[in-house]
Each structure stands twice: as C-alpha cells, then as structure tokens.
Amino acid sequence: MNFPESEGKQRPNKSAIKREIALIVEFIFKLAKLTPKQLAQLNLPEEVYRELLNAVALKHAGARARHLKYVAGILRADEGCQEIIAAVLAKTPQLRK
C-alpha cells in the first residue's frame, strides 16, 4: 500500500498488523470452543457464524486450524470487526482469559 505523502497518512506498522491478526485468530479459536447454542446467542455476522460451525465439524486438527484462520480473515475484513469483538467479549466473560 502506497500512501502519498500529501495526504499525511503513513503506512501501517507491519508488526502492529501482525499482532492484531494474532489476537483475532486467538479470539476465533476461543469462539470455536463454545457450543453452537452459545454461538447463536452472540449475534455474530452470518458468514462468520456459519463458517465457525463448519470449522468445529472438521475432524482433522490441521484442517480445523486452517479453517479457523480463514474465519479470522473473514472477521478481520468486516468493517465493524472491533465492535463485534467487543460486543462478544461483553456477553461472554469466559473468553477474556
């Protein structure tokens, strides 16, 4: 991403982006441990909810991990990602650990 200097924007810090992605992936892995009934109560975006259920159904650990990272990417692409995560954490205190 090239930002013209005239706009006054700087390129985002690569390490900060990686830390943010790691936190979102960790969050999704914690969500995957919840039951489908608990997930339904969280008001997640439909695509994230559906893909989380698909990931939980996978038997192979490697495939499950890969799919959960895919779900994290979907959530990260959502404009309201931070608000969604904050709302879910407010509803489920056990995910804050």
pLDDT in tens, 2-47: 555 556 678 788 998 898 889 889 989 999 998 999 888 888 889 9
Residue 10 lies in a domain: no
Q: Is residue 17 part of a domain?
A: no
- Give which of 18, 21, 1, 20 is closest to 9, Cα–Cα: 1
Examine residue 89 and state whether it is found in any structural domain, yes or no.
Answer: yes
In a domain, 62, yes or no: yes
Tens digits of residue pLDDT in 46-82: 999 999 999 999 999 999 999 999 999 998 888 887 8
Q: Residue 9: inside a domain, yes or no?
A: no
Is residue 64 a part of any domain in this protein? Answer: yes
Residue 86 in domain: yes
Q: Domain range spanning residue 59? A: 34-97
**pTM attached to this predicted model:** 0.77
**In total, how many domains does the chain have?**
1
Residue 49 lies in a domain: yes
